Chains A and B, each alone.
Chain A
Amino acid sequence: MGIIMTALLLRDLKLSIRAGGGALIGVLFFMTVVAVIPFGVGPDLNLLARIGPAIVWIGALLAALLGLDRLFQTEREDGSLDLLLMQEHPLVLTVLVKCLAHWLANVLPLVIASPLLGLFMNMNEVGIGAVMLTLLVGSPALTFIGAVGAAVAVTLPRGGLLVSILVLPLCVPVLIFGVSASYAAVEDPAPFLPPFLILVAITMFFAVLGPLGAALALRNGGD
């Protein structure tokens, strides 16, 4: 089973990195969203430094949602989704591996790009490190929650917008604790560890719930 799952992981990674995958478009979107913020709130460096962690987190959240609707839709279009549904391994595991591949190809680049955007936002080194660390830990939760939305909307021809609407309210806890932990690292009195550990807990919780829900939706949504 390990071989099959590794093969699936490599296949998904290759598909999203090679032509038409659009993995780097997410990073581009992320940078564009963050770059637009100063035009809205003004070039005041102190203000930007203060809202920086929140802006980078929101930008990453939106960019992570961007490619979600393709998580199962390409498989459905070329028919390989039926093969994935018919194999004898637990579907939950397949979905988990697909989520991991999606995270590696689409969301990890956002985490890697976040320090650059932190510099744009005039954040200090500790703040940049904290945002990168919280994104690294928290962003898998976004993918797992998003997998449920992607699976529910897989049969819809233009599901992208709907997926965002369905998934965003459920992502509120991740955003809250990610931003809280980032601020706690910079501002002295607030302790860093509690929000950070809760963020870890949320990610692990959704690592179970997300694939379960997505597998249930995929089984029930077939035509």
Chain B
Amino acid sequence: MTESLAITKFSDLANPTRFLALAARILPWLAAVTAALFAVGLYLAFTTQGDYQQGDTVRIMYVHVPAAWLSMMCYSVMALSAIGTLVWRHPLADVSHKAAAPLGAAFTLIALVTGSLWGRPMWGTWWVWDARLTSVFVLFLMYLGIIALNRAMDDPSRAARLSAVLILVGFVNIPIIKFSVNWWNTLHQPASVIRLGGPTIDGEFLRPLLVMALAFTLLFFTLHIMAIRNEIWRRRVATQRRMAARLAGRES
């Protein structure tokens, strides 16, 4: 094997060894930048003054909004990976959308829980069937369905191709669900009670929010690359176990 592990084009990443080498080089930097951004973002989030109406609960927003943003970005990353799986049969894309699904579900759950924690003092209830909440909840269910489908199949490459189909169909559906839920909500209840209205966002809140959003995005990519690496390792271990089992059968 004289070929170098240099990566010149995207398809080179199909070689898992190349990807692992790249991941080993990138991950420490990515993790360090993420940690630094979180330090700055959390510092800003806790030192800026609270809202004059919402008080300290406004700080929940610094976690809630980035998590909600990631819940959508993660599905887009999965949809891109799904295209990679179905069109180019890129092996890394298979692993990528499998690894992203639990992350997406986790960030969606964080968005739902923090939203609920914020809603209790602000709206007086843990949950309202608001259009936005409902569509995020449906998104959460879709993530869980994809994870369940991935776990239901033994053969990883077939599981990847089938869940890729499901991810793409879901991706086309998300705007329809969003639109229909908006329709449903405006039909059934007036939007007066639960408008997020309040003051339009001030620079005081915007700065920590942007830093936190960037930190969350980098956190996602750090975790995503780590999850892909773990999945590659897991498959290698599984392959070696199978080989060992075959050899053991031959000896006896």
Instruction: Give chain A's interface residues, CB within 8 Å of chain B.
Output: 148-149, 151-153, 155-156, 159, 162, 165-166, 168-170, 172-173, 176-177, 180, 190, 195, 198, 202, 205, 209, 213, 216-217, 220-221, 223
Contact = CB atoms under 8 A, between A and B. Distances in A.
A148 B165 contact: yes
Contact of A213 (B149, B163, B169): B169
Contacts, number: 86
A205 to B, nearest CB: 8
Contact of A152 (B86, B166, B187): B166
B153 A156 contact: yes
A205 B172 CA distance: 11
B165 A213 contact: yes
A176 B181 contact: yes
A170 B148 contact: no
A180 B138 contact: no
B180 A220 contact: no
B180 A216 contact: no
Interface residues of B, number: 30
A169 B137 CA distance: 10
Interface string B156-196: 00100111111011101100110111011001000000000
Given A156-B152, A169-B141, A216 B173 contact: no
B18 to A, nearest CB: 26
Nearest to B185: A176
B162 A220 contact: yes
Query: Majority SS of interface residues in chain A?
Result: helix
A216 B179 CA distance: 26
Contact of B149 (A162, A172, A176, A205): A162
Given A190-B187, A209-B172, A220-B162, A162 B138 contact: no
A-B pairs with lowest CB-CB distance, top 9: A173-B180, A220-B161, A217-B165, A213-B169, A176-B184, A176-B180, A166-B145, A169-B141, A152-B162
A155 B153 contact: yes
19 contacts: A149-B166, A152-B165, A155-B158, A156-B152, A156-B153, A159-B152, A169-B145, A169-B177, A170-B173, A173-B176, A173-B179, A176-B184, A213-B169, A216-B165, A217-B165, A217-B166, A220-B161, A220-B162, A221-B158
B142 interface: yes
A8 B169 CA distance: 26
